[in-house]
Amino acid sequence: MISLKNPRQVEAVKLDVHEADTLWRAYTDRNISIDHMTRLKNSIHDNDFSVYLAKILEDLKKECTTIEKLMQKFSIVGPEPAVES
């Protein structure tokens, strides 16, 4: 029996609508959280809290980058981050 499938060929992983929406929403929520926390960080005066908030912001930005890579992998067009004018 001859196999028509190439063993080196990798099958594409597909997402359903719910999974794509979950990624899109997670990315949107992280961007909103980053925006709110950045504004909060600019208005606080407690150094300890500022350091703590900076660490949280760093973690959120890493999560955003990871989600963005996943969205690119599955060809999901994400929302543009809000740009302040």
48 assigned to some structural domain = yes
83 assigned to some structural domain = no
6 assigned to some structural domain = no
- In the chain, the number of structural domains is 1
Nearest to 60 by CA among 84, 13, 14, 28: 28
Predicted TM-score (pTM) of this structure = 0.74
81 assigned to some structural domain = no
Domain housing 51 = 17-73
85 assigned to some structural domain = no
63 assigned to some structural domain = yes
pLDDT per residue rounded down to tens, the chain (85 residues): 444 555 555 556 788 899 999 999 999 999 999 999 999 999 999 999 999 999 999 999 999 999 999 999 988 888 876 555 3
79 assigned to some structural domain = no
82 assigned to some structural domain = no
